[in-house]
Amino acid sequence: MLKQIFTLSLCTLLSTGQAMAQEQVVNIYSARHYPSDEALYSQFTHSTGIRINRVDADDAGILARLRAEGSASPADVILLVDAARLWRGEAEGLFQPVKSVALDAAIPAQLRGEADASGASSWYGFSTRARVIVYDKIKVQRDDVDTYEELGDVKNKGRLCIRSGSHPYNLSLFGSVYEHLGEQKTEAWLKGMVANMVRDPKGGDTDQIRAVAAGECAVAVTNTYYLARLMRSSKPEDQAVVARIGVVFPNQSSWGTHVNIAGGAVAKHAKNQANAVKFLEYLASPQAQEHFANGNNEWPVARGVKLNNPALTAMGGGSFKSETIPISVVGKNSVKVQQMLDRAGFR
């Protein structure tokens, strides 16, 4: 069953009738569930006068709702937090192409949807999360875990903790590895990880980090913003976790570290299309990009953004080598990888 947590119902979005038509509004379906984003929304309204109506759900729930609503959907902007789901929405025709000089200037080409003949893209990435390896500094040598491939190497047998293979964050990572290694080597790698697991996949990324610090396992995979939250915490127990673990940005000598994205699109049936584009352009602005970095521990995608985040600075301030394959390719590959997981025994 798809988990859907809606903060504003469809009837609320539609019930304002004539009054709604007279004021400037933008209706957002968002998979970003971060309290720090409230400031992001309020700043947009303050600077533009455009009021935001928001529906919160997970990525899958939002796409399902768009399919069900069809042309009756009130959604103007779609915010998702995974490359595969952005690709899926694009592939199913749930977004409309956007041509914006401001967006094209700010967002690198590999962090956008595939351009059509006019150069318009169906979605844009606004922040990234690096998928890194954390390890027990007492039990593991850094050189044994400085590539993704080594997660499936026999030398790490009995060391690995990881969340479900079907979680979008892992599917995107696996889709990236598939692009670099090909089908046969990727499936062998997945089987190697299963053999190296000290327990069945469970929990989220923060649970994996804590398991390494507790000695339950010695190696785990996490998105950087989960680690940054612990690094910025003032709780003694969180500081103890951070002190026990090391972090590696994998594959710095080859293709680079995998990054997943949070991105946005204009809904296919947007009734407030101009306001929707304004909101996406706002997300690419220095003000919003600094918010992603300093408010929610994400790596900004626009150039020249000032970091004022001690955790991100401690992790190199974004100077790591990241992969450059188009995010849309990762999304396509994750569909193929999903079929491999059962054969590999990866739950």
Structure confidence at residue 318 as a pLDDT band (50, 70, 90) = confident
Residue 84 binned pLDDT confidence (cut-offs 50, 70, 90): confident
With tokens 């990881």, the residue in question is 162
Average pLDDT value for the chain: 91
Looking at residue 70, what is its pLDDT? 97
Domains in the chain with CATH codes? 10-127+259-316 (3.40.190.10), 130-257+328-344 (3.40.190.10)
Question: What's phi and psi for 204, nearest 5 deg?
Answer: -100, -170
* Least confidently predicted of 5-9, 269-273, 274-278, 302-306: 5-9
Q: How far apart are CA 172 and CA 306, in angstroms?
A: 28
Q: Is 53 a residue whose pLDDT tops 50?
A: yes
**Residue labelled with tokens 């980090």:** 209
* pLDDT for position 17: 42
Contact 78, 264 (CB under 8 A): yes
* pLDDT at residue 151, rounded to an integer: 98
Per-residue pLDDT tens over the stretch 174-193: 999 999 999 999 999 999 99
Task: Specify the range with the lowest mean pLDDT, choosing from 66-80, 177-191, 307-321.
Answer: 307-321
Per residue in 136-170, pLDDT (tens digit) is: 999 999 999 999 999 999 999 999 999 999 998 99
Q: pLDDT tens digit string along 164-178?
A: 999 989 999 999 999
Dump pLDDT digits (tens) for 18-29: 444 457 999 999
| Mean pLDDT of the region 251-259 | 96
* 108-129: pLDDT as tens digits: 888 898 889 899 999 999 999 9
CA distance 238 to 198: 23
Give this prediction's pTM.
0.86
Q: Please report which confidence band the pLDDT of residue 83 belongs to, taking 50, 70 and 90 as the band edges.
A: confident
Q: How confident is the model at residue 7 (pLDDT cuts 50, 70, 90)?
A: very low
* Residues 278/48, Cβ–Cβ less than 8 Å: yes
| Nearby residues of 280 by Cβ (< 8 Å), 6 or more positions away | 77, 98, 100, 103, 124, 264, 265, 266
- Start-to-end CA distance of the chain, whole Å, equals 18
Percent residues over pLDDT 70 in the chain: 94
Q: What is the mean pLDDT of residues 217-221?
A: 98
Strands 219-223 and 51-56: unpaired
SS3 content of the chain, % helix, strand, coil (to 5): 50, 15, 35
